[in-house]
Structure 1
Amino acid sequence: MGADHDRAARPAPPGVRRILFATVVPLFVATVVAALVLWPRTTPTLDGGADVPRHHGTVTRVVTEPCPPVEATPEGTPPGPQGPCGTVTVRVEDGPDAGREVETPVPAGPGAPTVAVGDEIIVVQLTDPADPEATSYNIAEHQRGESLLWLAAVFAAAIVAFGRWRGLAALAGLAASFAILLTFVLPGISAGRSPLLVAVVGAALIMFVVLYLTHGVTAQTSVAVLGTLGSLVLTGVLGAVATAATHLTGYGSEDATTLSMLQADIDLRGLLLAGIIIGSLGVLDDVTVTQAATVTELAHANPGLSRLQLYRAATRVGRAHIASTVNTIVLAYAGASLPLLLLLVADARPVGQILTSEFLAQEIVRSGVATLGLIAAVPLTTGLAALVSTAGRRATGPAGAVRDGLPTPRPTTERDEALEALSQPRTTGRVAPDRNPADWPVTE
C-alpha cells in the first residue's frame, strides 16, 4: 500500500514530533472511543428461510440424454432453459449419507455449474414436506476452498518475497482491515447504526492500524495519516452533498433492493455513502503515503530547497499520480459494473435518460466524489509534509549540516588544507618527483 523506501527518513526535530504527537494521538483516541460507542452489541440475523443442509461430494459418473420435448408456449414468450439433461452420480463425503452414492439431475439453467467425473462439488439435501423420510440431492456449486487457499498462499508468498519484512507487515495490515470490516463496519450497519458514521470511524481505524503497522511510527507516516483523515472527512461531506443534490435513494442496484426487503430499517442512502468512503480509503492512503515520501526524499536529496520549492516539486509528482489514479478508479467501477453497462448498451432510451437514471447516476456520483477526495489529498498531504521536512533547519550543526535552509559551507581551514594537499607533487610511480618531464624517454 503506497510508496516505500528502505532508507529511513531523517528524524524530525523534537518540536515537530511533539506537535505531531499532540495532533495524532487525540485523533486516534477519539476514533477508538467512537468505535467503542458504535460497536454493535447484537447483530440481527436475516430471516432467509430454513437452512438447507449442504454436503461435500465427488462426481463419479455423468450420464447425459436427450431432453424431453417442451410444451408449446404463447407467442412472444421466451423459451425456458434447454438442457443439458441426464443424471449425475455423486459420492457423498460427509453428513448422514457419508460414503453413499446418490443420483442427482444434471445441473441446468442460468449459472448452473458444468460437472465432470472427479469434480469436487457441493450438494444440497432436500426433504419432501409430505414425507420427511424422503430426501433428494441437487448439485449447488463446485468446491472452491482448496483453489482459493492455493491462490492465497501464492499471493502471500509473492508479497513476502518482494517486500520482505515490510511485505509481512502489509499482510498483517490487510488482515487487520478485514477484521475491522467484518467485526465492526458490517455488523454496525446491520445493527441500525448510521452507515456514514460507521464507515468514517471504521475507515479511520483501518487507516491508523494499517499505515503505522506497514510504514512504521514516523513523522512521515503521521503526515500521511493526517492527510488521509482530512481527505476522508472531505470525501464524506462531498458525498453527502452530491447524493442530496442528485436526490439519490440508494436503490440503484438489485442487491440494494433485495437487502431492503430482508432488512427494512437499513438506510440505503447512508449505505451508498459508506461504500464511497470505504472504496476511497484504499486509493487515498496510496496517494498520501506517496506524497509524504516524495517530499521527504526531495528534502533529503537537496536540503537547500525551500518549503515552496518542495511543495511545487512534489505536487508535480502528485499530478502525474492523480492522472493515472483517476483512470484506475473509473475502470475499477466499470469492471465491477459490466453487466450494468451491457444493459445500458441494449437500452433503447435516449442517452440523457440513461445517464440521469438512478443506477447510473449512482456510479457517476461515486466516481466523481472519490476523485475529488483524491485531488484534495495531494495539496493537503504535500503541504503538511513540506512543513515537517523543512522544520528545524535553523538549528546549528556540524560541517555540511543545514542552516537556514542552505547547506553549511565547509570551514576555510579545511578548504585550505585540501588545496595544499592537492598541490603537492606526486611521489609514487616510476618517475622521480624532481625529474623534469622534458627528460622523459621517448618510446617509438
Structure 2
Amino acid sequence: MLLATIVGLFVLWPSADALPDRMPYFGEGAGSLHATSEGVPDEATALVPARLDDGTAVQVAVPPEAMGEIGDGDRMRVFDIPEAAGFGSTYVFVDFAREIPLALLALAFVGVVVAVARWRGVAAIVGLVGAFAAIGAFTLPALLAGEPALPVALVSASVVMCIVLYLAHGFSTRTTTALLGTLIGLLLTAGIAWLATSSSRIMGTSAEESQILFTQTSADLSDVFLCGLVLAGMGVLNDVTITQASAVWELRAVAPGASRGELFARAMRIGRDHIASTVYTIAFAYVGAALPLLMVMWMTDAPVDVQLTTGEVVEEVVRTLVGSIGLVLAIPVTTGIAALVVPGASAAPEDAPLEAPARA
C-alpha cells in the first residue's frame, strides 16, 4: 500500500511546464489596503468616508450589494485602482477584512480540541495541517496539469489518511486496520463515483469557479468533480472505520473468550447505529451547503423532474448518494478486517464469551 502510494506520487507528480499560468489578482497599478469606515455610505454618491491604516483619510466607492452592510467602524479591504477615479474615488470596497475574527475562531477551535482531547487533539490538528499541505502540494497541481482524476484522488487520499490516522491515533494494528478499511471504502467510493458521474453525464460546470477553470486551464471538469467526490468521502469514512476498529478491540478486551464471529456480529450492531446517524449527517451537510439553491428551486415554478435533474441539483444528489454508499460499505469491510486481525480468543476458563447478538 505504501509502495503503491509512493509510486503513484512519482508517476503523477506534475511538472512545472504542465501547470497553467497563475492568474493576476491585482490589475496593473492596483493594490490591496485595509481601511476603517468612518460613517455609512452616502446613497447619492455611493461613497463612504474611511481611514487607511497609515492614517490617510479617503473616500471608498461601495458597490450596490454592500451599501446597506457597511457601518461606522467596520474594517474593510479596499483596492486602490487608478482607473476607478471616474466613480468618485480610486479606492474601491472589495470585502470586509476578516483576518481578526477568523484568527480568533481558529484559536478557539484549537483551544477546545486541545483542552478536551489533549495530546491526541494536538496530533489531530498537526495531521490536519499536514493533510491540507499534501492537497496543496500534490492534488491541486496534479488536477490543474490534467493528470487523471481517479489515480490522483486515490493517491491523495492514501497520503492524507496515512498522515491523519497515524498522527492522531498512533502506530498500531488497530490504526492500520482502520486505514485499510478507509482505503478499501475509498476504492469502492471511487468506482461508484465513476459509474454515477458517467451515467449521469455530470459535466462539473455548474459552479462559478468551474467556469474559470474551463476558460483558464485544460482540466477536465467532470474529472475534477469525480476527484472531489472521493476526497469528500475521506472524513466520514475515517470516522466510521476508526470507530469500528476500536469497537472490535474494545469488545475483545471485555470478552477475551469471544469468537471472531461473535466480535463481528456485535461490532456490526454498533456499525448499524453509526450508519443511520452518519447518513443523516452527510445529507444535512449537503442541504446546508446547497440551501440558496434549494430556496431558488422552491421559488421556481418548474416541474419537479426538471428541477431534480438540472446540473446543479444532480451534482449535490450524486455527492450525497455516492458518499453514503461508500460509507455503508466501508463499515462491514472494516469490521471484518478488524475481527480477523484482533488478537485471538483467550483460553482462560474465567473468560466468558459475549452474548449471542440479538437479531436486528
TM-score normalised by the chain length of structure 2: 0.90
- 2:165 paired with 1:191: no
- Structure 1 residues 320 and 90, CA gap change in structure 2 (3 angstroms): same
In the other structure, the counterpart of 1:89 is 49
Measure, in 1, the Cα distance between the counterparts of 2:89 and 2:311. Answer: 45
- Structure 1 residues 129 and 344, CA gap change in structure 2 (3 angstroms): closer
Letter in 1 for 2:349: T
In the other structure, the counterpart of 2:355 is none
Measure, in 2, the Cα distance between the counterparts of 1:92 and 1:129. Answer: 18
In the other structure, the counterpart of 1:345 is 298
Letter in 1 for 2:325: L
Measure, in 1, the Cα distance between the counterparts of 2:216 and 2:147. Answer: 17
Aligned residues with identical type, % of pairs? 37
In the other structure, the counterpart of 1:142 is 96
Encode CA deviations 1:67-119: one digit per residue, 9 max, x unaligned. Answer: 4xxxxxxxxxxxxxxxxx553222222xxxx43211123x2423557223322
Encode CA deviations 1:143-196: one digit per residue, 9 max, x unaligned. Answer: 111111111111101100000111111111111111111111112211221222
Shift of 1:120: 1.9
In the other structure, the counterpart of 2:171 is 217
- 2:350 paired with 1:374: no
Q: Pick from 256, 259, 272: which aligns with 1:303?
A: 256
Matches within 5 A, 1:250-399: 250-263=204-217, 265-391=218-344, 393=345
Letter in 2 for 1:60: E
Measure, in 2, the Cα distance between the counterparts of 1:348 and 1:288. Answer: 43
- 2:26 paired with 1:56: no
Count, aligned residues: 346
Contact 1:306–1:390 (8 Å) recurs in 2: no
In the other structure, the counterpart of 1:124 is 79
- Structure 1 residues 355 and 63, CA gap change in structure 2 (3 angstroms): closer
Matches within 5 A, 1:1-150: 27-42=1-16, 43-47=19-23, 50-51=26-27, 52-62=30-40, 64=42, 67=44, 85-93=45-53, 98-105=54-61, 107-111=62-66, 114-128=69-83, 136-150=90-104
Letter in 2 for 1:172: V
In the other structure, the counterpart of 1:408 is 349
Which structure carries more helix by proportion? 2
Letter in 2 for 1:315: M
Encode CA deviations 1:243-286: one digit per residue, 9 max, x unaligned. Answer: 112222222333323321232x1111111111111110000000
- Structure 1 residues 208 and 354, CA gap change in structure 2 (3 angstroms): same
Contact 1:60–1:118 (8 Å) recurs in 2: yes
- Structure 1 residues 63 and 337, CA gap change in structure 2 (3 angstroms): closer
Which of 1 and 2 has greater Rg? 1
- Structure 1 residues 61 and 127, CA gap change in structure 2 (3 angstroms): same
TM-score normalised by the chain length of structure 1: 0.73
Shift of 1:358: 2.1
Q: Pick from 228, 236, 244: which aligns with 2:182?
A: 228
RMSD: 2.2
The answer for unaligned runs of 5 or more in structure 1 is 1-26, 68-84, 394-401, 411-444
The answer for unaligned runs of 5 or more in structure 2 is 352-360
Letter in 1 for 2:116: F
Measure, in 1, the Cα distance between the counterparts of 2:25 and 2:250. Answer: 59
